Structure 1
Amino acid sequence: MGRAAHMLGTTPGFLRAIGEARLITPHRSKGGHRRYSRYQLRIAARARELVDHGTPIEAACRIVILEDQLEEAQCTNAEHRRAAGSPNPPAAA
């Protein structure tokens, strides 16, 4: 956890807080140490960015979750368009 916090320029307490908010759930080593994936570190960095700009931690976690869901939905839509043979997304109204 200390190494991950150092990489993100934050504190272990911040990583615990976003874990408690269920933004990320680190894997545990056999010795009980928290292990973070690159994806989890990217998510944590985005949450930190929002918190650094004054967003409360709970709101930052919710924003990051919604951003992640939106990205996933956009990828799914793009896959469906490709499968349907429509390379261009529909124009916005």
Structure 2
Amino acid sequence: AKDLIYTGRYVDATEAREMGLVDRVVGADEVHARAVEWAGQFATGPAVALAAAKAAIDGGLDGDLDSGLRLEGQVFAGLFTTEDQKTGMRSFVENGPGKAVFDGK
């Protein structure tokens, strides 16, 4: 990071991928379609769990490990009262992983 910040040098897509700055590289003609495809998995995913994960990650960035683990435990425990948790568990048992359809509740 310091190298890029201090020098301001250009990083092409391949190098950005190698450095871990991006998750994938696609051609310019594929960007929109791939972005829509990528976002689609979240649009139909477990909205409450995704929000909880975001809160745990963002909230744990500035604290110590114990505080971060405590926050993670709190948000995780809160998910067990949601309809999505019940939907996800039922779908997992009946249909296997990755097949649940969530309502965001």
Same fold (TM over 0.5): no
TM-score under structure 2 normalisation?
0.27
The structure richer in strand per residue is 1
Give the TM-score, by structure 1 length: 0.29
Q: Does 1 or 2 have the higher relative contact order (CA < 8 Å, sep 6+)? A: 2
Structure having the larger proportion of residues in helix: 2
